[in-house]
Amino acid sequence: MTTLRIAIQKSGRLNEDSLKIIKDCGISIDNGKDQLKASARNFPLEVFYLRNGDIPQYLKDGVVDIAIIGENVLVEKGEGIQFTQRLGFSKCKVSLAISKNETYTGFDFFTNKKIATSYPNTVKKYVIDKGISTDVHIINGSVEIAPNIGLADGICDIVSSGSTLFKNNLKEVAILLESEAVLAISPKLSNEKQRILKKFEFRIESVLKGRNSKYVLMNAPNNKLQDILKALPGMRSPTVLPLAEEGWSSVHSVISKYQFWEIIDELKEKGAEGILVCPIEKMVL
């Protein structure tokens, strides 16, 4: 039987959320400790636990078919590999940073300076775009220490909470890339695998839509109903059901989690009462 091979990060910041999204798609995998490969029980999927930096090459070679990977890694090492979905987790930036004590004068600051990084291709592309010449020094870990020990004038690395920069007395001066986890696709998929991929992508889309939305229920006096309904988007339109108490209705709708508080405030102002907000597990449109 044909199975789709998916690579996820073996350990690190994407690992847990990658497994969670697969699970939320209703796919069960036995996740034994130190296991490098696992098969799904109820979907034609095999999971490979790999090192982040190796995944782009595996995709290029068609050794794995798809991967959940940071866009930052794809930009750095995955030239020519496309992704089909942004997955909404592991958000971070790839940024340039310098010592807090330095005065940043704009990107010219880096002219003929040394930048320590594990993202040499990303940095080179940026400096070429800006038309400046710098010395890019590749190191594979603890990049933030480089300016403090005199190894470089600045660094380029992932910034998430910003605490590593802060602890090392550095300040972010330019953002080269905003990144999040994405679903990347090998260029070498057979038609049969494409078909399995479509099913997998459909499930992911439903999970993501659910995660980005809230189901709201409220009681509305009938004389204010029209006004309240105007505040609600709903998938098609809100559901309105009569309550046992005359003159009142129950209104149900789906709202985006990003507009959530604004809409709730408006509903209250317009006379809605007893507002309940529930998470949505999946949303199939």
Sole binder of ligand PRP in the list 31, 160, 212, 259 (CB under 6 A)? 160
Q: How far is the CB of 67 from ligand PRP (least distance, A)?
A: 17
- Contacts with ligand PRP, 117-146, as mask; x by CB under 6 A: ------------------------x--x--
* 157 binds ligand PRP, rule: CB under 6 A: yes
User: What are the residues facing 185 on neighbouring strands?
Assistant: 66, 82
Stretch that binds ligand PRP, among 55-63, 154-162, 227-235, 266-274 (CB under 6 A): 154-162
Rank residues 112 and 161 by Cβ distance to ligand PRP and give the closer one: 161
Between 12 and 274, CB nearer to ligand PRP: 12
Contact between 239 and ligand PRP by CB under 6 A: the answer reads: no
Mind giving me the DSSP string for 134-189? -EEEE-SS-GGGGGGGTS-SEEEEEESSSHHHHHTTEEEEEEEEEE-EEEEE-S--
Query: Which residues, including other chains, have CB under 8 Å from residue 46's CB and lie 6 or more apart?
Result: 3, 4, 5, 6, 37, 38, 39, 40
Question: Is there binding between residue 158 and ligand PRP (CB under 6 A)?
Answer: yes
How many other β-carbons are positioned within 10 Å of the β-carbon of residue 32? Answer: 8
Measured from the CB atom, is 168 or 213 closer to ligand PRP? 168
Report which secondary-structure segment, H or E, holds 60: helix 55-61
**What distance in Å separates the CA atoms of residue 192 and residue 203, rounded to the nearest whole number?**
18
Least Å from the CB of residue 178 to ligand PRP = 14
Cα gap 268→54, rounded to integer Å:
52
Amino acid in position 84: T
Establish if 10 lies at the interface with ligand PRP (CB under 6 A): no
Query: Do 42 and 203 form a contact (C-beta atoms < 8 A)?
Result: no
Q: Does position 53 bind ligand PRP by CB under 6 A? A: no
Instruction: Give the footprint of ligand PRP on this chain (CB under 6 A).
Output: 12-13, 141, 144, 157-164
